[in-house]
Each structure stands twice: as C-alpha cells, then as structure tokens.
Amino acid sequence: MDNLKISIKSKHKKSVKNSSLIWKECLRIIKQNVSNITYNTWFLPIKPFELEENTLKIHVPNNFFVEWIEEHYNTLINQTIRQVMGHDGKLVYIINDDSDDDPTLFDNPTVEAPKINPKQEENNFETNLSPRYQFDNFIKGESNQLARAAAIAISENPGQTSFNPLFIYGGVGLGKTHLIQAIGNNILKKFPHKKNIYLSADIFTTQFVDAIQSNNVGEFSSFYNNIDVLIIDDIQFLTGREKTQDLFFHIFNNLHQARKQIILSSDRPPKDLKGMSDRLISRFQWGLSADIQAPDFETRIAILKNKGDSFGISLSNEILDYIAYNITSNIRELEGCLIKLLANASLSGKEIDFELTRKTVKEISTRKEANISIDNITKLVCEEFKVDENKVREKNRKKEVVLARQIAMFLSKKLTKASLKTIGLHFGGRDHSTVIHAFNNIEKLTAEDVSLNELVNGLRNKLELGI
C-alpha cells in the first residue's frame, strides 16, 4: 500500500514537473501576443498543476478568471496549447479555491470540441448566439424599458407583431448586443425549429465579399432569404458600403414580406446613419426604434449586484454604492471595474473590502484623468503605429503618420476637454478646421472599417481603464 502511494507520489511529481515546463513554454508564446498588463493580470497568476496524458491542468484563482480568459483569449490559448502540445492537447482549468479540498474542474470546451447547442444540432443550424446573453440576466431599468419590453414581445411572437424590424440603438457598452442576443436565445428555446441567426453587419459584409469572389452570391442571398429570424448587430457598419446595402435591401424586403422577424442594432438612430441609402433608412423606421440610454443609479446598483453574483462574490452595500456613484458612463465600464477589483484582489491575495474598492476605482479614474492628456494619447497612438512622435507634430504626409495623427486628434477630442484650438496647437500648430477634418475622417473610417474601429476602441480602453 505504502509502495503504491510512493509510486503515485513520484508519478505526480513528474507530471507536475512536465506541466511546469509546458506551461512555461505556453507563457513564453502568450507573452509575445499580449500586452504586459494583460500578461501580468491574467496569465501570471495561473499556475500549472499537472499533466495527465494529453491534458494540461492549470490552477486559476477563481471562476471569473476562467470566464474572462475564455471570452477574451480563447483563440490565443487554444492555438498556444496546440502549438506546444500538439493537436490533441487539452486544457482543463481548476478553480483554486483554498477552502475547497475538491477543486472544481473546468474543461476548456473549445479545445476539446466547439460548443454546440443541442437545439442547434437538432436542425443543424449555426445561430452564433452566445448563451450568456439572456433576458434573465439583463437588468431592467428606466434606461432600457421600452427596448426590453419590445424585445420580450417579439421573442414571444417573432414576425407577428408590428415591431418589424425592431431597431435598437444607443452608445457603446449599454447593452444592445446583450438584448438582441437575448431575443435570439429566447426564440431558440421557444421555437427551436425556426432558423434564427445572429451576426454583426461587418461579418455579413465579409461573407458577401467572399461570396462575390467565389461566385456564390446566389447561394448567399438564398441562405438569408430563408431565415426566420435575422438579427444583425451594429448595422452602422453598412454605411458607405453600397453593394452590401443593395443586397441587404432585397433580403430585408423578402423577409419582411414573408413576415419573418428582423432585429437590428446600431450606435445611432436610423436618421443619423450617414452613408446609408434613404430606402434602407426608411425601412429601418417601419417597425419600432427604441433607444437604450446610460443606466441611472439604481440600475447601476442592480447591475453590479447581478454581475457580482455571477462572478461568485457578494459585495457590501457600501462598496456597491461607492462604485455606482463613481462609475457612471456605461455598463461595460461597470463590469470593467468589477473585473479590475477581482484581479486586484487575486493578485494581492486580499479580500475585496472598501479600501481595495476605493483604490481600484481611483486607479480607474486617475487613469482617466491623468493618462488622458493630449501628450499621453499621442504617445500611446504613436507606440501603436510605430511612428516617431515628432513626425506627427511635423508636416509629414506619410500615410501611417497621417493616420496616427488623425487618430490622436480624434481621441484628444473625445477624451479630453481641450478645445479644437488647443488640440491643433499640440500637433504642430495646425488650425481648428484640420482637427475637425481629422475627427470626421476617423469617425467615417471607423464606421467603415471594423479592425480600425477595434484598434481605436482598444486604445480608448487602455487610456480609460488600463485593460
């Protein structure tokens, strides 16, 4: 018996050693692909546990880490594991809850097999819906009352109400994607045989371009003409894309005539969609347009409570009030604050108390105030574009310098209180009309180009939240 124990022990030691080597190699690759702050916050706290055949088990500080990593770095982690361990390499997360002798295991589902919803399997149809977006976890408030009520109504009766299309609009991080995906998820439950598809307008455009290139436009159109519930996110991405708009116009008409449900989201109301054809704008207004606004104090508290629960933490009223008073602009930012709080707590090994909360909120707000100067913006943008800072201040007309300069001007206008004149002065004494031109140009380019939009949003997040 003792012998057996010893051999198990030494086998375990060996697997621990191997797991360390493998994880070390994974970290080396991950480090090359993420920023330092991301690496330190999300990857360094992970510890390898053991290697069992082709499965690497790693310890993560809490459930929330798993969710965050899966949502943001799944592709990177999967590719890295495959690169280091070969194609059948698997990863299992173990929640490292000290009080628990029997740690919770989490398979990394996409390493093993793509997530398939059983209902989707039933009719073999990929909906692209993420199960995390439900009505149950969408907090109701004055800011989203109409949009939410309409969303629930059409999910009970798709295509049969006068809300067709349902057009949800509002600023970033206010819950548009959550709400329209919740409609899809509810329809999936109630009407599993309906062909229900969610996608963003930029994916729609990319698919269309691919279809043109491979001579498959007919097939592409007939696919969308046969959908029962079409959910398109961020429809503003179609602005300036005339061919895609033409095709979408026909699909819209076919579906609408056949009383199929159309659901759209946008960052602005239909009438403000510059670069969208008039006939589409008028169709967007056929059904119901409902906006989502920034959440009020009570809603912010309810959202924080709900998110805290889902991360497995309960926060005192004092802490909830403090965050809700200080973080007001949108829900993504509220979530960002909780995430940072959790990360700070796990990094320092401390409980979440008022002091840590105050520190974290301060970190976010100081970052917002201190880091958001025109000089800091310029520095960050130049680093991103690998452009010499002096060049953006000179009269350099090189393409990447102009783009970096315009993005820096754009972010300076968005994130600081500086006047157009002051911004112009920071960029080599240019006058205010140049700043306006830069602002308009970046607004247009980001509406047209998804990857540029992501890049600009990423810079903004770095400046505002440091994540």
Q: How many residues bind Mg ion (CB under 5 A)?
A: 1
Vertex 238 angle, CA 235 and 242, to 5°? 150
Kindly tell me which of 182 and 420 has the beta carbon lying closer to ligand ADP.
Answer: 182
CA 177/CA 185 separation, integer angstroms:
12
**Residue ranges in 343-402 that form contacts with Mg ion under rule CB under 5 A:** none
Taking CB within 5 to 8 Å according to partner kind, which of ligand ADP, Mg ion, none is near residue 340? none
Q: Smallest distance, Å, CB 233 to ligand ADP?
A: 7
Of 283, 342, 298, nearest in space to 467 by CA: 342
196 near Mg ion (CB under 5 A): no
Question: What b-and-e string marks burial along 320-355, b requiring 16 or more CB atoms within 10 Å of the CB?
Answer: bebbbeebeebbebbbbbbbbbbbbbbeeeeebeee
**Residue ranges in 158-187 that form contacts with Mg ion under rule CB under 5 A:** 177
Kindly tell me which of 174 and 183 has the beta carbon lying closer to ligand ADP.
Answer: 174
Q: Smallest distance, Å, CB 265 to ligand ADP?
A: 7
Taking CB within 5 to 8 Å according to partner kind, which of Mg ion, ligand ADP, none is near residue 173? ligand ADP
Q: Smallest distance, Å, CB 335 to ligand ADP?
A: 5
Kindly tell me which of 177 and 239 has the beta carbon lying closer to ligand ADP.
Answer: 177
CA 165/CA 411 separation, integer angstroms:
34
Kindly tell me which of 173 and 240 has the beta carbon lying closer to ligand ADP.
Answer: 173
Q: Smallest distance, Å, CB 395 to ligand ADP?
A: 38
Q: Smallest distance, Å, CB 386 to Mg ion?
A: 29
Kindly tell me which of 228 and 333 has the beta carbon lying closer to ligand ADP.
Answer: 333
CB distance 164 to 261 below 8 Å: yes
Kindly tell me which of 420 and 467 has the beta carbon lying closer to Mg ion.
Answer: 467
Binding positions for ligand ADP, rule: CB under 6 A:
137-139, 144, 170, 172-178, 303, 306, 331-332, 335
Taking CB within 5 to 8 Å according to partner kind, which of ligand ADP, Mg ion, none is near residue 149? none
Kindly tell me which of 89 and 165 has the beta carbon lying closer to ligand ADP.
Answer: 165
Q: Which amino acid is at 82?
A: R
Measured CA distances, 140 to 143, 146, 303, 338 (Å)? 8, 10, 9, 20
Measured CA distances, 360 to 142, 290, 294, 376 (Å)? 28, 34, 22, 21
Give the gyration radius of the chain's Cα atoms.
25
Please give the order of strands across the beta sheet that includes 55-60: 47-52, 55-60, 90-95, 105-107
Using CB atoms, what's the residue nearest to Mg ion?
177
Q: Smallest distance, Å, CB 13 to ligand ADP?
A: 42
Q: Smallest distance, Å, CB 373 to ligand ADP?
A: 26
Q: Smallest distance, Å, CB 181 to ligand ADP?
A: 8
Kindly tell me which of 177 and 453 has the beta carbon lying closer to Mg ion.
Answer: 177
Taking CB within 5 to 8 Å according to partner kind, which of Mg ion, ligand ADP, none is near residue 335? ligand ADP
Q: Smallest distance, Å, CB 422 to ligand ADP?
A: 30
Extract the tokens encoding 284.
């967007």
Kindly tell me which of 50 and 464 has the beta carbon lying closer to ligand ADP.
Answer: 464
Extract the tokens encoding 134.
């439900």
Extract the tokens encoding 335.
């979530």
Of 419, 415, 396, 395, nearest in space to 407 by CA: 415
Taking CB within 5 to 8 Å according to partner kind, which of Mg ion, ligand ADP, none is near residue 139? ligand ADP
Of 269, 194, 267, 265, nearest in space to 231 by CA: 265
Q: Smallest distance, Å, CB 177 to Mg ion?
A: 3
Kindly tell me which of 177 and 186 has the beta carbon lying closer to Mg ion.
Answer: 177
Taking CB within 5 to 8 Å according to partner kind, which of Mg ion, ligand ADP, none is near residue 284? none
Taking CB within 5 to 8 Å according to partner kind, which of Mg ion, ligand ADP, none is near residue 174? ligand ADP
Kindly tell me which of 81 and 180 has the beta carbon lying closer to Mg ion.
Answer: 180
Q: Smallest distance, Å, CB 276 to Mg ion?
A: 18
Using CB atoms, what's the residue nearest to ligand ADP?
175
Which residues in this chain contact Mg ion in the complex, by CB under 5 A? 177
